Structure 1
Amino acid sequence: MLTRIHSVAGGLALVTILTFLTATVLAETFGATATVVAVKTAIPWGFLILIPALAATGGSGFALARARSGVAVDRKRRRMAFAAANGLLLLVPSALFLSFKAQAGELDGAFLAVQALELTAGGVNLLLLGLNLRDGLRMRSIRRNQP
């Protein structure tokens, strides 16, 4: 059951981050100013899904890792620590800043600079979660194939 919680929560977190990034890129590339404002305003509301999903993923991951050791488990732990710090120190403040700036109609240089930072940091977190997904699938496959 814990493995299922970990898988579902991790998948939900990954899809949520991918949705944030995709919506941002599409709005900035093809959308009108109103679209950018709507996307940047909606993203902090998405934290109501993302933060519990990440918390459930982290909590279940630590519980699952207690009984395991090895290189893959250590890599997943390091990646998640970096992703959590990246999210708390860069992504959440950036998203809130961008939301406030967009709602004020200030899509200026500061907005664009923080937007570039957010896209980069979000891409890094997407990559880290994707790598953890890959390693988790490998670990599950190895575990199922053992007698």
Structure 2
Amino acid sequence: MKRTVHKLAAIAATLCIATFFLSTLLVELFGSQEAIATVKSLIVMPGLFILVPAIAVTGATGFALSKNRKGRLLEAKKKRMPIIGANGILILLPAAIFLDQWASSGAFDTRFYLVQGMELIAGAVNLALMSLNIRDGLRLGGKLTARSKA
């Protein structure tokens, strides 16, 4: 049961980050300021109310599942988690809230785009690290094998 909950939460968290990242890029490239404000608002509500619990559940179940296990893949996953968490708490969460506030008030200035750039970079890093954790989780579960070296 823990394994299924972990998988579902990890997929939900990764899809949230991917959706936030892609929707931000698309609306910045092709949308109006009103559309940008709408996307920023949706990322905060309901987006963060889906993402934050998904990440918490992923971390808690991952910790529980790894309690009695060791190995290279598990250690790699454990090393990525503090980076994912720090990016989320220190950059992504505050950036989402500030960008929503600024966009809703029409403050599309240099500050907005600097924070937007930081958010996109941190989001890309988290998406990459979360994808590596999914890959290594699949390997740990025997669902994916490493390519053999020829």
Q: Which band: TM-score by shorter chain?
A: over 0.9
Task: State the Cα distance separating 1:81 from its structure 2 match.
Answer: 1.3
Q: Which runs of 5+ in 2 are unaligned?
A: 144-150
| TM-score w.r.t. length of structure 1 | 0.95
CA RMSD of aligned residues (A): 1.2
Q: What's the offset of the Cα at 1:41?
A: 1.2
For 2:134, what is the secondary structure of its paired residue?
helix
Cross-structure match for 2:102: 101
Question: What is the one-letter code of the residue matched to 1:5?
Answer: V
Identity of aligned residues (%): 44
The unaligned stretches of length 5 or more in structure 1 are 143-147
- CA-CA distance at 1:11 after TM superposition: 0.2
Q: For residues 20-40 of structure 1, what are the alpha-carbon distances to aligned partners after superposition, in whole Å with 9 as ceiling and x for unaligned?
A: 001100100001111001001
2:31 corresponds to: 31
Count of aligned pairs between the two proteins: 143
Deviations 1:62-97 (CA, angstroms, capped at 9, x unpaired): 000002101111110111111001100011011111
CA distance in 1 between counterparts of 2:104 and 2:61 reads 37
Task: Give the TM-score normalised by the residue count of structure 2.
Answer: 0.93
Moved over 3 A (4+): none
Q: Distance in 2 between matches of 1:47 and 1:10?
A: 15
SS in 2 for 1:141: coil
Distance, in Å, in 1 between the alignment partners of 2:58 and 2:35 is 31
Instruction: Give the aligned partner of residue 117 of structure 1.
Output: 118
Distance in 2 between residues matched to 1:65 and 1:134, nearest whole Å: 16
